Amino acid sequence: MRLGVTIFLTDRTIGVAELARETEARGFASLWLPEHTHIPASRRTPAPTGGDELAEEYFRSVDPLVALAAAASVTERLVLASGVSLVAQHHPIEYAKSWATLDLLSGGRTRFGVGFGWNVEEMENHGVAYATRRERVREHVLSMHELWVNDEAAYSGRFVNFDPVFMWPKPVQQPRIPTLIGGSAGPKMFAHVAEWADGWMPIGGRGIREALPALREAWSDAAREGDPQVIPFGTVPSADKLEYYESLGCTEVVVRLPASGRDDVLAALDSFTRYLA
């Protein structure tokens, strides 16, 4: 089973180039970076972790695509992924081109992890209503898939509309960049996974065993071939926990690194190497 890592990279943490090199050198499979374009000072939306305070890494986080491009330039094998991208806050044509370019420059080493988002006022500043975020994410990703796959692409929806266009480069990976959705289990989540994604990333890795039958049923009902990927995301590893995930059929787990300086992050990486196969 492969191990990847995720971290809130900021202007105060370890640098992305060193982190990417050290992560690959130790044998980890992937690097996943989260996204917040900004955090509104009003702080009306409660923190997803509970409590009144929101950790500073949420509003100091770097742009994941730019950081992943830097990581691509100093690595050869490391998979470069968003964990997760707030795709509703981006224009799909521009975002499709950016991701395709990263896939090209990295030699086909990207994965597109997306989320529906939780910060109401952050979305509002991007012109996105919280109530429609799921439908927007769906249309944004589906239209991006059209742009990645087709030489002449078009899309017509409630939120995304464009007549036939040409857009290159195309991703190196065929037919497109693997797309996964991060979030909690449930019928709505699994309907989205089955329709337009390649897998599910349960945040924290909780509740997978109970959720798998419903996920597989949704996948089958959508006439999808094979099995959906299930990647426990942002977990704190232990031998028992990783063995449990492997018994469920998970082929990769993404473990959480501290949003800290060089010494703390490298020490955490070193401590996690004992779980590498």
Q: Can you give the CATH number for the domain in which 161 is found?
A: 3.20.20.30
Determine contact, residues 165/93, Cβ cutoff 8 Å: yes
* Residue reference for tokens 């109530």: 131
Residue-level pLDDT at 137: 99
Distances (CA, A) of 113 to 65, 119, 202, 247, 274: 12, 18, 11, 23, 26
Number of domains in the chain: 1
Distance CA 62, CA 266 (A): 19
Instruction: Report whether pLDDT(109) > 90.
Output: yes
Instruction: Report whether pLDDT(171) > 90.
Output: yes
Residue-level pLDDT at 51: 72
Instruction: Report whether pLDDT(40) > 80.
Output: yes
The CA-based angle 217-223-226, given to 5 degrees, is 80
Residue-level pLDDT at 130: 98
Residue-level pLDDT at 205: 83
Average pLDDT on 220-232 reads: 97
Please write the tens of the pLDDT for every residue from 127-151. 999 999 999 999 999 999 999 999 9
Domain that holds residue 97: 2-275
